[in-house]
Homo-oligomer: A and B are copies of this chain.
Amino acid sequence: MTFLSQTFAQFIAAPPIGVVLCHEEREAMLALSVSPRHYRPHTPISRQGDVEPRVFFIQSGWACVYRDLPSGDRQIIDVPLKGDVIGIRAALGPNYNSLGSITDLSVYEISRSVLTKAVLQMPVLSRFFMRVSARQYAIVTEHLTNTGRRNAMIRTAHYLQELGARLAAIGEGNENGYECPLTQHELADVLGLTAIHVNRTLRELRENELVSFRAGVVEFLNRQKLSRLTSFDGDYLRMN
Protein backbone atom coordinates (compact mmCIF):
# COMPACT_ATOMS: atom_id res chain seq x y z
CA MET A 1 0.00 0.00 0.00
CA THR A 2 2.95 2.27 0.62
CA PHE A 3 4.04 1.81 -2.94
CA LEU A 4 0.56 2.44 -4.20
CA SER A 5 0.23 5.61 -2.18
CA GLN A 6 3.53 6.62 -3.64
CA THR A 7 2.13 6.41 -7.14
CA PHE A 8 -0.98 8.20 -6.05
CA ALA A 9 1.21 10.92 -4.59
CA GLN A 10 2.76 11.41 -7.99
CA PHE A 11 -0.71 11.58 -9.47
CA ILE A 12 -1.78 14.20 -6.98
CA ALA A 13 1.34 16.20 -7.64
CA ALA A 14 0.17 16.63 -11.24
CA PRO A 15 -3.20 18.00 -10.35
CA PRO A 16 -6.39 17.21 -12.25
CA ILE A 17 -6.79 19.57 -15.18
CA GLY A 18 -7.54 23.09 -14.19
CA VAL A 19 -8.38 22.13 -10.66
CA VAL A 20 -5.39 23.31 -8.71
CA LEU A 21 -4.80 21.70 -5.35
CA CYS A 22 -3.50 23.70 -2.44
CA HIS A 23 -1.11 22.17 0.09
CA GLU A 24 -3.81 21.23 2.58
CA GLU A 25 -5.92 19.61 -0.08
CA ARG A 26 -2.99 17.57 -1.33
CA GLU A 27 -2.29 16.34 2.17
CA ALA A 28 -5.91 15.39 2.69
CA MET A 29 -6.01 13.56 -0.61
CA LEU A 30 -2.96 11.53 0.30
CA ALA A 31 -4.62 10.32 3.45
CA LEU A 32 -7.26 8.54 1.37
CA SER A 33 -6.98 4.84 0.91
CA VAL A 34 -7.03 4.17 -2.79
CA SER A 35 -6.54 1.07 -4.91
CA PRO A 36 -5.16 1.11 -8.43
CA ARG A 37 -6.97 -0.79 -11.17
CA HIS A 38 -6.54 -1.40 -14.83
CA TYR A 39 -9.15 -1.94 -17.53
CA ARG A 40 -8.75 -3.15 -21.10
CA PRO A 41 -10.09 -1.00 -23.93
CA HIS A 42 -13.84 -0.94 -24.42
CA THR A 43 -14.76 -2.64 -21.16
CA PRO A 44 -17.84 -1.67 -19.18
CA ILE A 45 -16.88 -0.59 -15.67
CA SER A 46 -20.21 0.25 -14.09
CA ARG A 47 -23.73 0.38 -15.43
CA GLN A 48 -26.52 2.84 -14.76
CA GLY A 49 -28.52 1.65 -11.79
CA ASP A 50 -25.57 -0.02 -10.07
CA VAL A 51 -25.40 0.16 -6.34
CA GLU A 52 -22.16 0.47 -4.36
CA PRO A 53 -20.71 3.15 -6.55
CA ARG A 54 -17.06 4.06 -6.39
CA VAL A 55 -15.04 7.11 -7.25
CA PHE A 56 -12.29 6.88 -9.86
CA PHE A 57 -9.26 9.07 -10.45
CA ILE A 58 -7.97 8.53 -13.95
CA GLN A 59 -4.25 7.95 -14.07
CA SER A 60 -4.02 7.34 -17.80
CA GLY A 61 -6.26 6.50 -20.72
CA TRP A 62 -9.62 7.61 -22.02
CA ALA A 63 -12.92 6.73 -20.37
CA CYS A 64 -16.51 7.42 -21.25
CA VAL A 65 -19.58 8.26 -19.18
CA TYR A 66 -22.82 7.57 -20.98
CA ARG A 67 -26.51 6.89 -20.78
CA ASP A 68 -28.25 4.02 -22.56
CA LEU A 69 -31.72 4.55 -23.99
CA PRO A 70 -34.42 1.89 -24.42
CA SER A 71 -34.30 2.65 -28.15
CA GLY A 72 -30.80 1.24 -28.26
CA ASP A 73 -29.22 4.65 -28.80
CA ARG A 74 -26.85 6.08 -26.30
CA GLN A 75 -25.69 9.53 -25.32
CA ILE A 76 -22.13 10.00 -24.17
CA ILE A 77 -22.15 12.55 -21.37
CA ASP A 78 -18.44 13.05 -21.02
CA VAL A 79 -15.09 11.60 -21.98
CA PRO A 80 -12.92 11.88 -18.86
CA LEU A 81 -9.16 11.98 -19.35
CA LYS A 82 -6.05 11.73 -17.21
CA GLY A 83 -6.54 13.65 -13.98
CA ASP A 84 -10.33 13.65 -14.21
CA VAL A 85 -12.45 12.31 -11.41
CA ILE A 86 -15.47 10.13 -12.09
CA GLY A 87 -18.44 9.32 -9.89
CA ILE A 88 -18.30 11.98 -7.20
CA ARG A 89 -22.03 12.41 -7.41
CA ALA A 90 -22.78 8.73 -7.77
CA ALA A 91 -20.99 8.29 -4.47
CA LEU A 92 -23.77 10.30 -2.82
CA GLY A 93 -26.80 8.59 -4.26
CA PRO A 94 -27.91 6.20 -6.93
CA ASN A 95 -25.88 5.98 -10.10
CA TYR A 96 -27.62 7.13 -13.27
CA ASN A 97 -24.82 6.89 -15.77
CA SER A 98 -22.80 4.05 -17.12
CA LEU A 99 -19.04 4.10 -17.25
CA GLY A 100 -16.70 2.36 -19.65
CA SER A 101 -13.14 2.50 -20.90
CA ILE A 102 -12.28 3.59 -24.40
CA THR A 103 -8.55 2.89 -24.40
CA ASP A 104 -6.46 1.00 -21.89
CA LEU A 105 -7.36 2.70 -18.64
CA SER A 106 -5.54 2.99 -15.33
CA VAL A 107 -7.44 4.41 -12.38
CA TYR A 108 -7.26 4.85 -8.65
CA GLU A 109 -10.43 3.65 -7.04
CA ILE A 110 -11.99 4.83 -3.78
CA SER A 111 -15.03 3.28 -2.17
CA ARG A 112 -18.05 5.36 -1.39
CA SER A 113 -17.83 4.85 2.38
CA VAL A 114 -14.18 5.82 2.59
CA LEU A 115 -14.85 8.94 0.61
CA THR A 116 -17.88 10.22 2.48
CA LYS A 117 -16.16 9.71 5.83
CA ALA A 118 -13.07 11.45 4.58
CA VAL A 119 -14.99 14.45 3.35
CA LEU A 120 -16.73 14.89 6.69
CA GLN A 121 -13.45 14.61 8.59
CA MET A 122 -11.46 16.81 6.24
CA PRO A 123 -13.49 19.79 5.14
CA VAL A 124 -10.79 20.91 2.68
CA LEU A 125 -11.54 17.84 0.64
CA SER A 126 -15.07 19.01 0.06
CA ARG A 127 -13.73 22.19 -1.45
CA PHE A 128 -11.71 20.11 -3.85
CA PHE A 129 -14.65 17.95 -4.85
CA MET A 130 -16.94 20.93 -5.23
CA ARG A 131 -14.42 22.46 -7.60
CA VAL A 132 -14.15 19.27 -9.64
CA SER A 133 -17.90 19.08 -9.64
CA ALA A 134 -18.17 22.67 -10.85
CA ARG A 135 -15.88 21.97 -13.75
CA GLN A 136 -17.84 18.91 -14.77
CA TYR A 137 -21.08 20.86 -14.64
CA ALA A 138 -19.57 23.54 -16.86
CA ILE A 139 -18.56 20.84 -19.32
CA VAL A 140 -22.00 19.20 -19.61
CA THR A 141 -23.56 22.62 -19.79
CA GLU A 142 -21.38 23.37 -22.77
CA HIS A 143 -22.25 20.02 -24.37
CA LEU A 144 -25.91 20.81 -23.86
CA THR A 145 -25.67 24.17 -25.59
CA ASN A 146 -23.56 22.43 -28.21
CA THR A 147 -26.19 19.85 -29.10
CA GLY A 148 -29.09 22.21 -28.50
CA ARG A 149 -28.00 25.25 -30.43
CA ARG A 150 -25.13 24.51 -32.81
CA ASN A 151 -25.24 22.69 -36.13
CA ALA A 152 -23.23 19.59 -36.91
CA MET A 153 -20.20 21.39 -38.25
CA ILE A 154 -19.74 23.97 -35.52
CA ARG A 155 -20.68 21.40 -32.92
CA THR A 156 -18.09 18.90 -34.08
CA ALA A 157 -15.38 21.52 -34.42
CA HIS A 158 -16.20 22.92 -30.99
CA TYR A 159 -15.89 19.53 -29.39
CA LEU A 160 -12.60 18.76 -31.08
CA GLN A 161 -11.36 22.07 -29.70
CA GLU A 162 -12.55 21.17 -26.22
CA LEU A 163 -10.67 17.89 -26.34
CA GLY A 164 -7.60 19.73 -27.57
CA ALA A 165 -7.76 22.19 -24.71
CA ARG A 166 -8.27 19.47 -22.13
CA LEU A 167 -5.37 17.45 -23.47
CA ALA A 168 -3.13 20.49 -23.64
CA ALA A 169 -3.86 21.14 -19.97
CA ILE A 170 -2.50 17.72 -19.05
CA GLY A 171 0.48 18.04 -21.32
CA GLU A 172 -0.73 15.87 -24.17
CA GLY A 173 -0.84 16.84 -27.81
CA ASN A 174 0.75 20.02 -29.13
CA GLU A 175 0.03 23.23 -30.98
CA ASN A 176 -1.00 21.44 -34.15
CA GLY A 177 -3.23 18.75 -32.74
CA TYR A 178 -3.45 15.56 -30.75
CA GLU A 179 -4.09 11.85 -30.90
CA CYS A 180 -7.70 10.90 -30.47
CA PRO A 181 -8.74 7.27 -30.00
CA LEU A 182 -12.46 7.94 -30.45
CA THR A 183 -14.20 6.19 -33.32
CA GLN A 184 -16.56 8.21 -35.48
CA HIS A 185 -19.39 6.26 -33.91
CA GLU A 186 -18.32 7.28 -30.40
CA LEU A 187 -17.92 10.87 -31.53
CA ALA A 188 -21.46 10.68 -32.90
CA ASP A 189 -22.72 9.48 -29.53
CA VAL A 190 -21.04 12.45 -27.89
CA LEU A 191 -22.47 14.95 -30.35
CA GLY A 192 -25.96 13.57 -30.72
CA LEU A 193 -25.46 12.83 -34.40
CA THR A 194 -25.27 9.80 -36.67
CA ALA A 195 -21.89 8.23 -37.32
CA ILE A 196 -22.52 8.75 -41.01
CA HIS A 197 -23.24 12.41 -40.56
CA VAL A 198 -20.16 12.82 -38.39
CA ASN A 199 -18.18 11.31 -41.21
CA ARG A 200 -19.51 13.84 -43.71
CA THR A 201 -19.06 16.68 -41.26
CA LEU A 202 -15.44 15.74 -40.66
CA ARG A 203 -14.86 15.69 -44.38
CA GLU A 204 -16.36 19.15 -44.69
CA LEU A 205 -14.17 20.45 -41.87
CA ARG A 206 -11.17 19.00 -43.64
CA GLU A 207 -12.12 20.40 -47.03
CA ASN A 208 -12.65 23.82 -45.49
CA GLU A 209 -9.14 23.73 -44.05
CA LEU A 210 -10.38 23.95 -40.46
CA VAL A 211 -9.67 20.68 -38.63
CA SER A 212 -8.77 17.25 -39.81
CA PHE A 213 -9.52 14.07 -37.89
CA ARG A 214 -8.12 11.03 -39.67
CA ALA A 215 -6.51 7.79 -38.59
CA GLY A 216 -6.74 8.66 -34.92
CA VAL A 217 -5.16 12.10 -35.12
CA VAL A 218 -6.77 15.48 -34.92
CA GLU A 219 -4.92 18.25 -36.74
CA PHE A 220 -5.81 21.91 -36.51
CA LEU A 221 -5.41 23.33 -39.99
CA ASN A 222 -6.26 26.92 -39.20
CA ARG A 223 -6.89 27.79 -35.58
CA GLN A 224 -7.95 31.38 -36.23
CA LYS A 225 -10.51 30.49 -38.85
CA LEU A 226 -11.68 27.68 -36.60
CA SER A 227 -12.16 29.91 -33.58
CA ARG A 228 -14.01 32.45 -35.67
CA LEU A 229 -16.36 29.68 -36.74
CA THR A 230 -17.01 28.11 -33.35
CA SER A 231 -16.30 31.05 -31.04
CA PHE A 232 -14.76 28.47 -28.75
CA ASP A 233 -13.61 29.82 -25.40
CA GLY A 234 -11.94 27.30 -23.15
CA ASP A 235 -12.50 29.27 -19.97
CA TYR A 236 -15.17 26.88 -18.81
CA LEU A 237 -12.52 24.18 -18.56
CA ARG A 238 -10.43 26.06 -16.02
CA MET A 239 -11.17 26.43 -12.34
CA ASN A 240 -9.06 28.45 -9.96
Using a CB–CB distance below 8 Å, which chain A residues touch chain B? 67, 69-71, 73-75, 77, 88-90, 92-94, 96-97, 116, 119-121, 123-124, 126-127, 129-131, 133-134, 136-138, 140-141, 143-145, 147-150, 191-192, 231, 235-236, 239-240
Contact = CB atoms under 8 A, between A and B. Distances in A.
Contacts of A126: 119, 123, 126-127, 129-130
Nearest to A140: B140
29 contacts: A67-B141, A71-B149, A74-B149, A75-B145, A75-B148, A88-B130, A88-B134, A89-B134, A89-B138, A92-B127, A93-B131, A93-B134, A93-B239, A93-B240, A96-B236, A97-B141, A116-B127, A120-B123, A120-B124, A130-B130, A130-B133, A133-B137, A136-B137, A137-B137, A140-B141, A143-B144, A147-B148, A147-B192, A148-B192
A2 to B, nearest CB: 28
A134 to B, nearest CB: 4
A141 B231 contact: no
Contacts of A149: 69, 71, 73-75, 192
A134 B71 CA distance: 26
A90 B126 CA distance: 15
A46 to B, nearest CB: 15
A144 B140 contact: yes
Given A70-B231, A126-B119, A239 B75 contact: no
B138 A77 contact: no
A153 to B, nearest CB: 13
Nearest to A137: B89
A77 B67 CA distance: 18
B141 A77 contact: yes
Contacts of A94: 235
Nearest to A154: B71
Contacts of A75: 144-145, 148-149
Contacts of A240: 93
Contacts of A70: 231
